Amino acid sequence: MLVIKNLQVTVNSKEIIKGISLEIKPGEIQALMGPNGSGKSTLALALAGSQKYKVSAKGRSSSGRKSEISIDGKDLLSLSPDKRARLGLFVSFQEPVAIPGVKVFSFLKEAYEKLTGKHLLTSQFKELILGQAETLKLAPDFWQKELNQQFSGGERKRLEMLQALLFIPKYAIFDEIDSGIDLDGLKLIKKAILKLQKMGTGIILITHHPRLLKLIKPDKIHVLVDGRLVKSGNGEILKRLEKSGYKSFYCVMCSCPGEICPQHGQTKL
């Protein structure tokens, strides 16, 4: 199980994530939605282990409770990004980084060998990635290009998904994997996510748009506002968002986030 408990994250001394707790089981799909600036990408980067995103000092949140990120009981907070990946955590970023001079094939093969411990012949690995690439409708020569160079936004997202299909992580966090994707591309992403689910990967989908979630129907949907989880549920959340938008998760009197405002009571519109 992937456990996130009482997580507080600061960036440049500013608190962005304010005590989030989640538990994701193998093969489970959960979605995290929220408006721009709510802390969704900060959460993904903190889980990945980015040094810019600091978990509360000495592992304790502002509430005084211990912060925790763990996989199957193994603590991740003290581990570097590569060690977190080796324990089975995969994070797909909102804006995949281009690395000039590094070929896609070389990058994928080296990462595959480090994460899986398997060493395939060049011809065997080429056959493996081309098989997965066909599922995602990547161009036949994609593997010869430089990493995320000369790729469209949608192709970059599908290349991120290809990595997940190759590595088969225990848990995968996809940060806005649906952004910049047309309807056909969205269906390919859906197919790949469900394939990962069948292989036992627990998944967190981070998005601000409900269209992918309508196709996948996650087990749980959470709403993140101002760094706090303010609502958890399933399909009824999507209906509420379509009707009233994210404003329905703020107090209409003082604009604080949450279902119940300490000062003004029920906030639902």
Contacts of residue 190, defined as CB under 8 A and 6 or more positions apart, other chains included, come to 212, 215, 216
Closest by Cα among 194, 189, 175, 11 to 97: 175
Contacts of residue 204, defined as CB under 8 A and 6 or more positions apart, other chains included, come to 22, 24, 30, 31, 32, 171, 172, 173, 174
Contacts of residue 100, defined as CB under 8 A and 6 or more positions apart, other chains included, come to 146, 149
**Residue 263's pLDDT is what?**
52
Q: How far apart are alpha carbons 206 and 130 in whole angstroms?
A: 27
**Residue 254's pLDDT is what?**
52
Answer yes or no: are the C-beta atoms of 14 and 3 closer than 8 Å. Answer: no
Answer yes or no: are the C-beta atoms of 157 and 183 closer than 8 Å. Answer: no
**Residue 67's pLDDT is what?**
86
**Residue 162's pLDDT is what?**
95
Q: Which CATH architecture has domain 2-266?
A: 3-Layer(aba) Sandwich (3.40)
Q: How far apart are alpha carbons 229 and 33 in whole angstroms?
A: 10
**Residue 63's pLDDT is what?**
52
Q: How far apart are alpha carbons 17 and 74 in whole angstroms?
A: 22
**Residue 58's pLDDT is what?**
45
Closest by Cα among 163, 184, 187, 182 to 174: 163
- pTM for this one? 0.88
**Residue 264's pLDDT is what?**
45
**Residue 257's pLDDT is what?**
62
Q: How far apart are alpha carbons 223 and 69 in whole angstroms?
A: 20
CB atoms within 10 A of CB 259: 13
Answer yes or no: are the C-beta atoms of 97 and 149 closer than 8 Å. Answer: no
Six-digit token string for 52: 């810019």
Task: Determine which helix (DSSP H) or strand (DSSP E) holds 217, and give its type and residue range.
Answer: none
**Residue 99's pLDDT is what?**
81
- pLDDT tens, N- to C-terminus, the chain (269 residues): 999 999 999 998 899 999 999 999 999 999 999 988 899 999 999 999 998 888 875 444 455 568 899 999 999 999 999 999 999 999 998 877 778 889 999 999 999 999 999 999 999 999 999 999 988 999 888 898 888 887 888 888 999 999 999 999 999 999 999 888 888 989 999 999 999 999 999 999 999 888 899 999 999 999 999 899 999 998 889 888 888 888 888 764 355 665 556 554 554 44
Answer yes or no: are the C-beta atoms of 241 and 222 closer than 8 Å. Answer: no
β strands within 110-243, DSSP E: 146-147, 171-175, 202-207, 220-225, 228-233
